[in-house]
Structure 1
Amino acid sequence: MKTIIELKNATVQVNNGFDAFKTILDDVSLDIYEHDFITILGGNGAGKSTLFNVIAGTLMLTSGSIHILGEDVTDLPAEKRAKYLARVFQDPKMGTAPRMTVAENLLVAKFRGEKRGLRPRQIHLYTEEFQTLISKIGNGIENHLETPTELLSGGQRQALSLLMATVKRPELLLLDEHTAALDPKTSVSLMNLTDELVRQQALTALMITHHMEDALKYGNRLIVMKDGKIIQDLTADEKAKMVLSDYYSLFE
């Protein structure tokens, strides 16, 4: 089984002021395998976002190591890891450039992690491809290929962020509570699209969620975090035997 991410004894300590240090990721070891779709649950301050930041390279480890596809990236910054990873944030505004059109945003995402010299963008070459892509969403965005993203609804913008994250297939897709800022109906629609993309592209994905129902429904593994540690790592079979009340009991 191909290992995409390997965390060994990953620890992050931050200065809390007055020379006091707080451990926000505590000796975490985790292997993420190809085609895993892992949902992550945990209360506030459990270490979920810290785990994502460590993998993405926006937060460096105090000790421990991280490998991506066997390469030691422990000391590599985020831009050096961009060729492997794509991330969708909680805030729909985070993943898109507001004054650029939908097509322009998709063009940038299509060449994520690649070296770009100064050359004509030739966006017209990709118009048909991008129109086909957005037409699959079904939330009205198909009429807005040439619309600046700042004029889209939150749901449309988040769906675009998801498409941008997957238009060039990433080795690992990080979903950082990507439905949390949406209304319930739009959230369900985006989760259906997420599951469809993960299945169609055979993606490896890691998803933070506060929705117990989504943790129960989606993914082949469930990780529960508390106080910077992984306290549960459940398989698909173990998940299948659980009901909603079992999930709530994990936090007691």
Structure 2
Amino acid sequence: MTAVIELIDATKIVQNGFNEQKVILDGVNLTIREHDFITILGGNGAGKSTLFNAIAGTLRLTSGQVRILGENVTNWSAEKRAKHLARVFQDPKMGTAPRMTVGENLLIAKYRGERRGLISRQLAAHSDTFLALLARTGNGLEKHLETPTGLLSGGQRQALSLLMATIKRPELLLLDEHTAALDPKTSQSLMALTENFVTEDQLTALMITHHMEDALKYGNRLIVMKDGQIIKDLNTAEKASMTLADYYQFFE
């Protein structure tokens, strides 16, 4: 399988006041291969978000490398990496423009990472495609193509964020605790939709979750992080052989 993302000895050290330093990512080595769906578990301060930010380019490494499709992108900006990566955040408000309609948000996402001149947006030409895409969510979004996004429910807005992140197939989809702000029923619906998108469209995805059950249920690999390091990298068979009690032992 093709290596989509590689982290090589990825280390991030920050100043922690009074000339003290704190290592928040500690020599991490990770290879994400094409079609991997990797879930990440870890307590607060384990390094999960730092790992995401290092991949996305919103946090520069102190040392080590990030590679995308074999190319060293360590010094690339987040904007330059955006043509390869898409991200769904924990807060439903983060991934969409509230005053723009659902259709306008999708149109922006369709041209992610491309140069755009001052031309007519031609939204009507994409409406049929967008309606079919919205219908995949199963939550009535197709009825809201012309609705300002700020008027949607949290679950609908997060489903739209997922559509926007995948409308232009990314090399890697980053799911940053994207169900955490939703009620349990809506969270389950969004996870089912996420798995549907990842498996049917054969995406490569990396997902942070605090839900132990989701980490066990979804994905072909599970990574456990602690103190800025990956302490476990389990494949499907290894995941299946473990219980919730086994996982809780990692955090003791």
TM range (shorter): over 0.9
1:41 to partner: Cα distance: 0.1
- The match for 1:241 is 241
Q: How many residues align?
A: 252
For 2:71 and 2:201, locate their aligned partners in 1 and report how far apart those are by CA, in whole Å.
Answer: 23
What amino acid sits opposite 1:160 in the alignment? L
- The match for 1:204 is 204
Given the two structures, how large is their TM-score scaled by the length of structure 2? 0.99
What amino acid sits opposite 1:110 in the alignment? K
2:58 aligned with 1:22, yes or no?
no
1:140 to partner: Cα distance: 2.2
1:45-102 deviation digits (Å, cap 9, x = unpaired): 0000000000000000000011000111000110000000000000000000000000
- The match for 1:92 is 92
- The match for 1:153 is 153
What amino acid sits opposite 1:84 in the alignment? H
For 2:131 and 2:234, locate their aligned partners in 1 and report how far apart those are by CA, in whole Å.
Answer: 39
1:193-229 deviation digits (Å, cap 9, x = unpaired): 0000001110000000000000000000000000100
1:118 to partner: Cα distance: 1.2
For 2:42 and 2:243, locate their aligned partners in 1 and report how far apart those are by CA, in whole Å.
Answer: 17
1:141-183 deviation digits (Å, cap 9, x = unpaired): 2211100000000000000000000001000000000000000
Q: Aligned to 1:106, what secondary structure does the other structure show?
A: helix
Kindly report which structure 2 residues correspond to 1:134-213, keeping only aligned pairs within 5 A, or say none. Answer: 134-213=134-213
Q: Aligned to 1:216, what secondary structure does the other structure show?
A: helix
What amino acid sits opposite 2:212 in the alignment? M
Runs ≥4 residues deviating over 3 A = none
1:245 to partner: Cα distance: 1.6
- The match for 2:79 is 79
Q: Aligned to 2:58, what secondary structure does the other structure show?
A: coil
Q: Aligned to 1:79, what secondary structure does the other structure show?
A: helix
- The match for 1:63 is 63
Given the two structures, how large is their TM-score scaled by the length of structure 1? 0.99
What amino acid sits opposite 1:51 in the alignment? L
What amino acid sits opposite 2:191 in the alignment? M
For 1:247 and 1:93, locate their aligned partners in 2 and report how far apart those are by CA, in whole Å.
Answer: 32
Identity rate, percent: 73
For 1:211 and 1:45, locate their aligned partners in 2 and report how far apart those are by CA, in whole Å.
Answer: 16
Q: Aligned to 1:38, what secondary structure does the other structure show?
A: strand
Q: Aligned to 1:30, what secondary structure does the other structure show?
A: strand
Larger deviation, residues 135-144 vs 73-82:
135-144
- The match for 2:34 is 34
Q: Could you say what the CA RMSD is over the residues aligned between the two structures, in angstroms?
A: 0.7
